[in-house]
Amino acid sequence: MKAWQARLLYFVVLNAAVQYVTSLEEELSDSIFGGNFLDPLKDLFGHKDDSNQTVAKFSLRKPSHPDDDLCYIVPGKPDSLAACTFNSTSKTFLVIHGWTLSGMFESWVAKLVSALYEREQTANVIVVDWLPSAQNHYVVAAQNTKAVGQEIARFIDWIEETTNMPLENIHLIGYSLGAHVAGFAGSHATNKVGRITGLDPAGPDFEGEHAHRRLSPDDARFVDVLHTFTRGSLGLSIGIQQPVGHVDIYPNGGSFQPGCNLRGALEKIANLGIFAITDAVKCEHERSVHPFIDSLLNEQEAARAYRCGSSDMFNRGMCLSCRKGRCNRVGYGISKVRKARNVQMYTKTRASMPFRVYHYQLKIHFSSKVNRSEMEPSLTVSLYGTKGEAENLELKLKEKIATNRTHSFLLVTEKDIGDLLMLKFKWEEANGWSASNMLKMVSSWWSGDSDSANMEVHKIRIRAGETQQKIVFCVKDSEAHSLTHEVTFVKCKDAWRTSPKRTAKRVTLENH
């Protein structure tokens, strides 16, 4: 696909998909998209914003009315600060929405306002309304982000000058295009604000751009970012994929989020056309907002993210250490780490709030006296702890199992099962009628042997990500077990770091 074709596809999808279509918005969409759905794209690249100037309004919302704009602070009019009961000694949050087709606030705005007041009762929560500039073709709305950011910067300067408010108390929270608006606001303010949180900053027109043309770590004293839709099924990146903050967190790899039903969305697209992608895009892209809300409402259950070189390494269970700042909380309570280099972190989540899951790293050494070819068995584990159990959890293979080698796995549970007491491990031969599997089956039948004959597991080492507890499990019964039966492991008497000279029970994985 040529560059201009990819660019056009970006905007076709964005103009058709990003907004969630409620029953009221469907009527609005009919008026906007009446006739051929490509009508809005006729002058996509040459369209100009009809407004003479970019306008942003600043609504100080109240805890009792989080979805109502009852009082506006007007820059240059100090009386409006008193009228809106602005508290210059409290934290101030500026919530900045993204691109819109409907010209209305999305439902997440009120939810975020309410959650902020739930956590910080005396705060000022200001919703920045730049809807007139955001309700344009995506290209135009993206071009408007700088001017809107500059206007917010003037507002911040005026607040600082009028109230002597320390800018450390100002926290900008921007979603999609609003994240880049926040970046421009921070970079153009006379003094640096305390924090900017980018919630899946928009990708098109910003991916790969220089730092001064997008959200970047230079825009605030601390910039944290959540990425939830960095690579779609169509090869698009609705949210920006590159790291743009001091700490960038990629829940579920920053791509497809649990509960967003991508398979169903693709089926709808095949049957109904491009508009069917609406729900999928909204779910993936807007998901970034909800873990942040979750972190405000469930402070004690905040999700944890782990520093890692890549999503693939994280999914192999190689990055669950919290040593030297290698892990952090997700969302509002994040530890403000400022390093010379960007920190990229990963986490898994549930499909709904609360999003926290419990991560485990399993290290299993498979040994054999017979040199075996690489294998692709089905592996399952059941965990038993002081608070409950999680049974029949699949160990996802990221590579084939090789003999005399240690393999690392990532395992997650949706509930807290407490301190681990015991686990059960099960190996099943790969099923399927592929040529390689058929050849192995014939070979096993002829030799009376199987892929895993004489395979041995001495120990299973586990690190619990949330508690950082390290446990070594040894086989409970040293006698051989059938591969079709679960093998039970209990805590070893020795510690995590076991001397190789010490002899432990081992299980031999053989067919009988």
Reduce the DSSP state of residue 418 to 3 states and report it. coil
For residue 13, what is the enclosing H or E element?
Answer: helix 3-17
CATH number at residue 77: 3.40.50.1820
Q: What's residue 263's pLDDT?
A: 66
Between CA 7 and CA 2, with CA 284 as vertex, the angle to 5 degrees is 15
Q: Is 219 part of any known ligand binding site? A: yes
Q: What's the one-letter identity of residue 511?
A: N
Q: What's residue 37's pLDDT?
A: 33
Q: Which two tokens stand for residue 471?
A: 């446990």
Q: What's residue 68's pLDDT?
A: 96
Whether 285 is a known active-site residue: answer yes
* 367 plus 420 within the same structural domain: yes
Instruction: Give the bridge partners for 456, in sequence order.
Output: 367, 508
Catalytic residue among 133, 176, 237, 452: 176
- Is the residue at 49 inside a domain? no
For residues 110, 115, 121, 124, the Cα torsion angle rounded to the nearest 10 degrees is -50
Residue where a domain terminates, one of 316, 347, 378: 347
Instruction: Give the residue ranges of DSSP H helices in 121-277.
Output: 131-134, 138-163, 177-188, 262-272
* 337 plus 363 within the same structural domain: no
Q: What's residue 372's pLDDT?
A: 67
* 233 plus 211 within the same structural domain: yes
* 328 plus 395 within the same structural domain: no
* 314 plus 369 within the same structural domain: no
Catalytic residue among 114, 171, 200, 288: 200
Whether 359 is a known active-site residue: answer no
- Is the residue at 437 inside a domain? no
CA distance 253 to 313: 10
* 378 plus 252 within the same structural domain: no
pLDDT in tens, the chain (512 residues): 454 444 544 444 444 444 433 333 333 333 333 333 333 333 433 344 444 465 899 999 999 999 999 999 999 999 999 999 999 999 999 999 999 988 899 999 999 999 999 999 999 999 999 999 999 999 999 999 999 999 999 999 999 999 999 999 999 999 999 999 999 999 999 999 999 999 999 999 999 999 999 999 999 999 999 999 997 545 567 999 999 999 999 999 998 899 987 666 666 666 666 555 566 678 899 999 999 999 999 998 899 999 999 999 999 999 999 999 999 999 999 999 877 789 999 999 999 999 999 999 999 988 877 766 678 888 999 999 999 999 999 999 888 888 788 999 999 999 999 999 999 998 887 664 444 444 444 444 444 455 555 677 879 999 999 999 999 999 888 765 545 577 899 999 765 544 444 444 544 444 33
- Beta strand spans in 376-483 (E): 378-385, 389-395, 405-413, 420-428, 455-464, 470-475
* 298 plus 400 within the same structural domain: no
Q: What's residue 244's pLDDT?
A: 98
Is 301:354 a contact under the CB 8 Å cutoff?
Answer: yes
- Is the residue at 50 inside a domain? no
Catalytic residue among 97, 227, 285, 290: 285
CA distance 164 to 184: 22
Q: What's residue 40's pLDDT?
A: 39
Domains contained in the chain, number = 2
Q: What's residue 496's pLDDT?
A: 52
- Is the residue at 3 inside a domain? no
Task: State which residues form the domain around 304.
Answer: 57-347
Q: Residues of 264-273 as b/e, b for ≥16 C-beta within 10 angstroms? A: ebeebbeeee
Whether 205 is a known active-site residue: answer no
Between CA 226 and CA 234, with CA 229 as vertex, the angle to 5 degrees is 165
CA distance 428 to 378: 5
